[in-house]
């Protein structure tokens, strides 16, 4: 867990380049600053954005470095199931992982070089050591109106854990998403929030 | 009124340039530095000049010229860019400036997006130009105004070195006032200073040495170095830049009592180090990459005949490679203080072995986008030249062609045509076809082509022209007809440029047209001398942004025989079902049609709406 005096809340966001992990971090980071909390975040840019594996760190109420120590995160938000497993060691043993069960196959799999594990096996593996909340956020995004709002569904889901009022997060969603998609994203946020 | 904003480190640095009253800003894109100029160029109501230059040497010289007239200038680049700009750097330390110049060089420990892990602080020592090393985005922003003032006071350039975690980190940042006073450009002739002929260099070199003590004294007083002495404490920790945040957290977590010196400037604050040396028995130094601080502390200890034990990375245990973090610092502290080591997992995250599969998880390497035109170029190139040909390449998105088997070397920016020439001149008889992007060609590829033609290298040069600097975030270049701020300007004709460099075989093709591209490559291969093939097609991301929509393709399952010819293209839009042995196209398809030209069974066709 995040240690007292160093950070109030440590969050890991894992996913695939192009899924909107940076927007998800921004929504949370901006909302925390609005609530007068200090924030430190680290993001993956550049090379790894081309469909590669991506991990962001966000520390709320922290004035030190942005990198969360191993077994230090309170919650992990995983936008893709295999990426949850890849970075699970960042999550505290009593931490919670919220995971989207919709997978994205890397080229190594679609080209037949590697195999992708069964989703059930991934979830079971996560459950061996951590508390797991798993649901199909991509389907909820589609229900909200657009697949691309999956990241906001996930932010809605984690809103139940963050030390930030839900209204502030929703305000942050409204300012950061493209204006013509505000309604879809508000709905996506609500759908995620009520999953838990 | 002061205001707090949530900002990317590079955006905070751009804000620092505005607050400090920067007037001329130049640079060449390079991860993790690119967003600084991107942010400035996108600002409305600018009262400064900002440009993307064609390479880092050019950029530094533009900024140097501006500072010679008395204004405040900034140049930005990534660490390896400073190698390109090292020539002006070393002598600019002799001439100095009249206004001020801040040289921003972003380092990339762990090579997140780079070909090496070099440490810019070594250039600071080498050139004797002072360097600032921030711990977070706030300090990064605040250091810029300080750097302008320092540079002006000593008439010296200042290096400012963020790392990936600063540039691509985010934090709440307290904004400061903007310096509205702007010096007027007014170049004063002063031959002894601005004309570095040997006689004048012999005057300026001693001057550079002489001002080192004064600069150190000034840096020593700066807020960027801070010393915490604990009464009676015999254990000292010195940590620089970002490493100071990691070290502090590890010390706090483990409840270790230590005298602590945070370093943010080079040359390092000697008086504070001396104070620490006078009290403690042991000094542990944490710094990322090279042992710059450690070496200086060791030299000081020797000069002062101090019995203090110095521990760092020269004789282990602090790693000399990759980024540090809290866990690494905690491990080192446990070892040094003989404490129990925490049981921590190792080997997490991603390694980039393209062919490797971990038992539990498939690798997810970065790949070329669905519909990327480089895929067509590389496919045609390999077919025309054969697998045994040699394919030197360069730095850009197309380096990802390593998966297509058409990237055999990547040395540095512009190092494709030249490496290809060298191989030919060495007597290599296999066919040689190199690839280089449009922006990289303008950067340092042009001189390589001129050299190849002049010296009669029998090679084929492929310019993969996607009309942008894609990998670093789509910055404009001289082939695009617009500047950093979006103004129209002359558009360089690549084919005409190559001809004017002496090329006799220059052909431009559309790499989505596989047949024609392959045919042109075959002709280029049989041409005696340096041939140039320009494969021109808009970057697929830019195409989407500019509203180009192509109909996607599908694979008719009953026509697919599972030959995997299309799958081997490595397009993320093409999937192969291991059970049914049939390929399919997913929603990522952009309609480039390259795979449909490959299929021998006419199974791939446009979606009819």
Q: What are the structural domains, with CATH classification, of chain B?
A: 4-221 (3.40.50.970), 226-336 (3.40.50.920), 373-542 (3.40.50.970), 553-606 (3.30.70.20)
In this structure, is residue A134 part of a structural domain? yes
3-state secondary structure of A51: coil
Nearest Cα to B164, choosing from B318, B32, B338, B22?
A: B32
Distance from CA of B177 to the nearest CA of A (A): 20
pLDDT 10s digits, B175-220: 999 999 999 999 999 999 999 999 999 999 999 999 999 999 999 9
Q: Is A165 at the interface with chain B, CB within 8 A? A: no
Residue B128 in tokens: 């004797």
Please report the pLDDT score of residue A108 as a whole number. 87
In this structure, is residue A3 part of a structural domain? no
Note whether A117 contacts B330, CB cutoff 8 Å: no
| B578: confidence class by pLDDT, cuts 50, 70, 90 | confident
| B579: confidence class by pLDDT, cuts 50, 70, 90 | confident
**pLDDT over 50 at B247, yes or no:** yes
How many C-alpha atoms does B244 have within 13 Å on its Cβ side? 25
In sequence order, what DSSP letters do the residues of B212-264 get, joined into one string? HHHHHHHHHHSTT-EEE--TT--EEEEEETTHHHHHHHHHHHHT---EEEEE-
Nearest Cα to B361, choosing from A68, A55, A72, A125?
A: A125
Note whether A65 contacts B4, CB cutoff 8 Å: no
CB A79 within 8 A of CB A16: yes
| A44: confidence class by pLDDT, cuts 50, 70, 90 | confident
In this structure, is residue A2 part of a structural domain? no
Note whether A26 contacts B242, CB cutoff 8 Å: no
**pLDDT over 50 at B357, yes or no:** no
- For B362, the closest of A44, A52, A114 (CB atoms) is A114
Please report the pLDDT score of residue A111 as a whole number. 80
In this structure, is residue A90 part of a structural domain? yes
Direct distance between the N- and C-terminal alpha carbons of chain A, in angstroms, rounded to an integer: 21
Task: Mark out the alpha helices in chain A (DSSP H runs).
Answer: 21-34, 81-86, 107-110, 119-129, 137-144, 150-158, 166-176, 182-193
Distance from CA of A83 to the nearest CA of B (A): 9
Which carries the bigger pLDDT value, residue A15 or residue B353? A15
Please report the pLDDT score of residue B242 as a whole number. 97
Please report the pLDDT score of residue B101 as a whole number. 98
Please report the pLDDT score of residue B1 as a whole number. 44
Please report the pLDDT score of residue A18 as a whole number. 85
In this structure, is residue A19 part of a structural domain? yes
A85 CB neighbours in chain B (<8 A) are 360-361
**pLDDT over 70 at B538, yes or no:** yes
CATH of the domain at A37: 3.40.920.10
CA distances from B570 to B54, B181, B397, B553 (A): 32, 55, 14, 16
Please report the pLDDT score of residue B356 as a whole number. 42
In this structure, is residue A170 part of a structural domain? yes
Q: Which residue has the tokens 């940042």?
A: B173
Q: Which residue has the tokens 């160029």?
A: B41
| B345: confidence class by pLDDT, cuts 50, 70, 90 | low
Mutate to test the interface with A, among B251, B366, B395 (most CBs of A within 10 A): B366
Residue B122 in tokens: 């070594």
Interface of B with A in 551-590 (CB under 8 A): 564, 567-568, 570-572, 574-576, 578
**pLDDT over 70 at B170, yes or no:** yes
pLDDT 10s digits, B298-324: 999 999 999 999 999 999 999 999 999
**pLDDT over 70 at B545, yes or no:** yes
Task: Provide, rounded to the nearest whole percent, the portion of chain B with pLDDT above 70.
Answer: 96
Which carries the bigger pLDDT value, residue B23 or residue A3? B23
A24 CB neighbours in chain B (<8 A) are none
Span B58-83, average pLDDT = 98
Q: Over chain B, what is the mean pLDDT? A: 95
pLDDT 10s digits, A30-41: 999 999 999 999
A21 CB neighbours in chain B (<8 A) are none
Please report the pLDDT score of residue A76 as a whole number. 98
Mutate to test the interface with A, among B115, B323, B361 (most CBs of A within 10 A): B361
Q: Which range marks the domain in which residue A106 is found?
A: 9-193
| B403: confidence class by pLDDT, cuts 50, 70, 90 | confident
How many C-alpha atoms does B426 have within 13 Å on its Cβ side? 10
Please report the pLDDT score of residue B4 as a whole number. 93
In this structure, is residue A114 part of a structural domain? yes
Note whether A105 contacts B575, CB cutoff 8 Å: yes
User: Domain tally for chain A?
Assistant: 1
Please report the pLDDT score of residue A2 as a whole number. 75
The pTM (predicted TM-score) of the whole model is 0.96
Note whether A52 contacts B361, CB cutoff 8 Å: no
Is the previous residue joined to B317 through a cis bond, with omega within 30 degrees of 0? yes
Q: What are the respective helix, strand and coil percentages of chain A, to the nearest 5?
A: 45, 20, 35
| B353: confidence class by pLDDT, cuts 50, 70, 90 | very low
**pLDDT over 60 at B378, yes or no:** yes
Task: Provide, rounded to the nearest whole percent, the portion of chain B with pLDDT above 90.
Answer: 93
Please report the pLDDT score of residue B352 as a whole number. 43
Span B35-47, average pLDDT = 96
Please report the pLDDT score of residue B105 as a whole number. 98
Chain-centre distance for alpha carbon B156: 25
B169 CB neighbours in chain A (<8 A) are 40-43, 66
In this structure, is residue A146 part of a structural domain? yes
């Amino acid at each position: 867990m995040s240690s007292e005096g160093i950070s109030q809340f440590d969050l890991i966001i894992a996913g695939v380049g192009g899924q909107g992990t940076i927007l998800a971090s921004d929504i949370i980071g901006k909302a925390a600053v609005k609530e007068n909390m200090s924030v430190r975040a680290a993001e993956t840019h550049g090379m790894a954005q081309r469909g590669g594996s991506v991990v962001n760190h966000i520390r709320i109420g922290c004035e030190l470095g942005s990198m969360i120590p191993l077994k230090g995160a309170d919650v992990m938000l995983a936008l893709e199931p295999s990426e949850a497993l890849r970075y699970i060691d960042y999550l505290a043993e009593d931490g919670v992982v919220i995971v989207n069960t919709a997978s994205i196959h890397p080229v190594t799999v679609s080209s037949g070089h590697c195999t992708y594990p069964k989703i059930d096996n991934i979830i079971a593996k996560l459950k061996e050591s951590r508390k797991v909340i798993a649901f199909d956020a991509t389907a909820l995004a589609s229900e909200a109106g657009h697949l691309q709002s999956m990241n906001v569904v996930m932010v809605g889901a984690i809103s139940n854990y963050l030390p930030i009022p839900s209204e502030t997060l929703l305000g942050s969603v409204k300012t950061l998403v493209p204006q013509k998609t505000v309604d879809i994203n508000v709905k996506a946020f609500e759908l995620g929030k009520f999953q838990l | 009124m002061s205001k707090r904003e949530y900002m990317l480190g590079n955006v905070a640095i751009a804000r620092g340039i505005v607050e400090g009253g920067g007037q001329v800003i130049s640079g060449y894109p390079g991860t993790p530095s690119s967003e600084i100029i991107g942010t400035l160029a996108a600002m409305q109501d600018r009262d400064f000049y900002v440009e993307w230059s064609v390479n880092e040497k050019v950029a530094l010289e533009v900024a140097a010229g501006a500072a010679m007239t008395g204004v405040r200038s900034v140049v930005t680049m990534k660490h390896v860019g400073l190698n390109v700009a090292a020539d002006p750097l070393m002598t600019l330390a002799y001439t100095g400036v009249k206004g001020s110049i801040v040289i921003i060089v972003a380092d990339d420990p762990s090579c997140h997006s780079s070909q090496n892990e070099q440490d810019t602080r070594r250039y600071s020592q080498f050139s004797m130009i002072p360097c600032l090393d921030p711990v977070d985005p706030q300090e990064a922003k605040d250091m810029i105004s300080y750097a302008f003032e320092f540079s002006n006071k000593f008439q010296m350039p200042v290096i400012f070195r963020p790392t990936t975690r600063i540039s691509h980190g985010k934090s709440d940042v307290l904004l400061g006032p903007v310096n509205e006073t702007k010096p007027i450009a007014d170049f004063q002739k002063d031959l002894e200073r601005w004309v570095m002929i040997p006689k004048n260099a012999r005057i300026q070199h001693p001057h550079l040495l002489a001002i080192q003590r004064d600069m150190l004294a000034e840096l020593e007083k700066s807020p960027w170095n801070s010393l915490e002495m604990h009464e009676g404490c015999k254990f000292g920790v010195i940590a620089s830049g970002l490493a100071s945040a990691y070290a502090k957290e590890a010390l706090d977590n483990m409840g270790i009592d230590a005298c602590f010196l945070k370093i943010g400037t080079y040359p390092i604050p000697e008086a504070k180090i001396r104070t620490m040396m006078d009290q403690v028995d042991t000094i542990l130094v944490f710094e990322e990459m090279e042992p710059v601080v450690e070496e200086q502390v060791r030299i000081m200890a020797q000069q002062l005949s101090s019995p203090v034990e110095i521990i760092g990375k020269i004789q282990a245990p602090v790693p000399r490679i990759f980024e540090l973090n809290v866990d690494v610092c905690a491990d080192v502290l446990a070892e040094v203080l003989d404490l129990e080591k925490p049981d921590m997992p190792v080997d997490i995250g991603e390694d980039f072995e393209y062919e490797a599969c971990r038992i539990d998880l498939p690798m997810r390497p970065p790949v070329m986008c669905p519909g990327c035109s480089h895929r067509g170029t590389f496919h045609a190139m390999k077919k025309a030249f054969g697998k045994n040909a040699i394919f030197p390449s360069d730095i850009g998105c197309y380096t990802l062609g390593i998966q297509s088997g058409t990237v055999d070397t990547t040395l540095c920016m512009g190092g494709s045509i030249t490496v290809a020439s060298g191989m030919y001149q060495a007597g290599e008889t296999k066919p040689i076809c190199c690839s280089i992007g449009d922006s990289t060609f303008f950067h340092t590829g042009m001189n390589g082509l001129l050299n190849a033609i002049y010296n009669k290298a029998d090679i084929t040069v492929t310019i993969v022209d996607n009309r942008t600097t894609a990998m670093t975030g789509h910055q404009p270049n001289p082939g695009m007809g617009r500047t950093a701020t979006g103004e129209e300007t002359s558009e360089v004709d690549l084919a005409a440029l190559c001809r004017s460099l002496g090329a006799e075989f220059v052909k431009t093709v559309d790499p989505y047209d596989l047949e024609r591209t392959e045919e042109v490559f075959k002709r280029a291969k049989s041409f005696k001398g340096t041939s140039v093939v320009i494969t021109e097609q808009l970057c697929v991301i830019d195409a989407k942004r500019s509203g180009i929509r192509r109909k996607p393709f599908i694979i008719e399952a009953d026509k697919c025989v599972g030959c995997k010819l299309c799958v081997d293209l490595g397009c993320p839009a093409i999937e192969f079902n291991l059970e049914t042995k049939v390929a399919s196209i997913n929603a990522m398809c952009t309609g480039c049609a390259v795979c449909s030209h490959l299929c021998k069974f006419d199974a791939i066709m446009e979606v009819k709406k």
